[in-house]
Amino acid sequence: MMALKMILVRVSLSGISFVLGVTEETVLMWLGRELSQLTNDNFDNITRIAA
């Protein structure tokens, strides 16, 4: 979830992977998993949280 919030505020993929201490591929895997679970309502809520 933290990686998704960072993407929503336009942090680069390499920046996220550096901060979290993982590879960019791992971040992409996490994002794919999170995005597949989101519904339109959940996406609106997360967008408000990240703002």
Q: Which domain holds residue 17?
A: 2-50
Count of domains for the chain = 1
Angle CA(29)–CA(23)–CA(21) in degrees, nearest 5?
115
**From CA 38, how far away is CA 44, in angstroms rounded?**
10
Per-residue pLDDT of the chain (51 residues; tens, 9 = 90+): 666 666 666 778 888 888 889 999 998 998 888 777 776 667 677 777 776
Given a contact cutoff of 8 angstroms between Cβ atoms, the answer to whether 2 and 8 are in contact is no
Residue 27: which residues within 8 A CB-CB, separation 6 or more? 3, 13, 16, 17, 20
- pTM score, whole prediction: 0.57
